[in-house]
């Protein structure tokens, strides 16, 4: 997530999900290879099995020594790369919902940081964000969560920033 140009959040479709890239891959923050920094990115709260229509609280945490600004973007997709449920914003000061119509015509939903949510000046982290994911109805297959995050040095340039990604999976509970 380009913290100078996109301090209010990255452009949608920056999670490294199928058909997307990350801000490292799009050359916004390409000084270091993806996931090469000494920091850590975690996604907590993804259920092993989900129940259709139930809400699950997801916790995103990022930390890295020497960094002072932070960002993230997450989406949830089915095996067919379609939107897998939807998100509910629980903190409008720190997070926001974004939508994107993909070139193939289908819609994806994203949650990402706001300008306040980039937690400017918070040295080293950890920083955290919480979002609610509501499991889809009528989906029997897995849901894949794609998360990208930026541990930035706050120099107002794309240099010195580290991009991290991870993927997690939840399966539909059997009736």
Would 21 be classed as within a structural domain?
Answer: no
Instruction: Answer yes or no: pTM beyond 0.75.
Output: yes
Q: How many CB atoms lie within 10 A of CB 120?
A: 14
| pLDDT for the residue 150 | 92
Preceding peptide of 126 cis, ω within 30°: yes
Domain-embedded: residue 28? no
Helix (H, G, I), strand (E, B) or coil at 27: coil
Residue 1 maps to a domain? no
Question: Would 26 be classed as within a structural domain?
Answer: no
pLDDT in tens, the chain (175 residues): 333 335 556 667 668 788 775 554 445 655 678 888 899 999 999 999 999 999 999 999 999 999 999 999 999 999 999 999 999 999 999 999 998 887 788 888 999 999 999 998 899 999 999 999 999 998 888 999 999 999 998 887 777 889 999 999 999 997 6
- Quick one: pLDDT at residue 8? 59
Count how many domains the chain has.
Answer: 1
Residue 103 maps to which CATH number?
A: 2.60.40.4060
pLDDT of residue 28: 61
Residue 19 lies in a domain: no
Q: N- to C-terminal Cα distance for the chain?
A: 40
Whole domain around residue 128: which residue ranges? 40-172
Q: Strands of 143-152's sheet, edge to edge?
A: 49-50, 162-172, 143-152, 69-78, 107-113, 95-101
Residue 69, both tokens: 């600004």
Q: What is the pLDDT of residue 30?
A: 57
Cα dist from 171 to 49, 51, 56, 128, whole Å: 5, 9, 13, 25
24 belongs to a structural domain: no
What pLDDT does residue 5 have?
A: 39
């Amino acid at each position: 997530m380009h913290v100078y140009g996109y301090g209010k959040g990255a452009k949608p479709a920056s999670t490294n999900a199928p058909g997307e890239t990350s801000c490292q891959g799009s050359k916004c923050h390409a000084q270091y290879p993806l996931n090469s920094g000494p920091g850590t990115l975690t996604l907590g709260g993804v259920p092993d099995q989900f129940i259709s229509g139930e809400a699950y609280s997801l916790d995103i945490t990022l930390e890295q020594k020497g960094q002072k600004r932070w960002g993230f973007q997450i989406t949830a997709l089915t095996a067919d790369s379609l939107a897998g449920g939807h998100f509910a914003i629980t903190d409008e000061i720190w997070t926001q919902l974004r939508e994107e119509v993909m070139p193939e015509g289908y819609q994806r939903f994203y949650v990402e940081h706001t300008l306040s949510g980039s937690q400017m000046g918070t040295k080293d982290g950890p920083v955290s964000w919480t979002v609610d994911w509501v499991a889809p109805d009528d989906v029997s297959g897995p849901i894949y969560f794609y998360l990208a995050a930026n541990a930035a040095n706050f120099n107002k340039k794309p240099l010195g920033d580290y991009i991290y990604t991870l993927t997690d999976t939840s399966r539909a509970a059997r009736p």
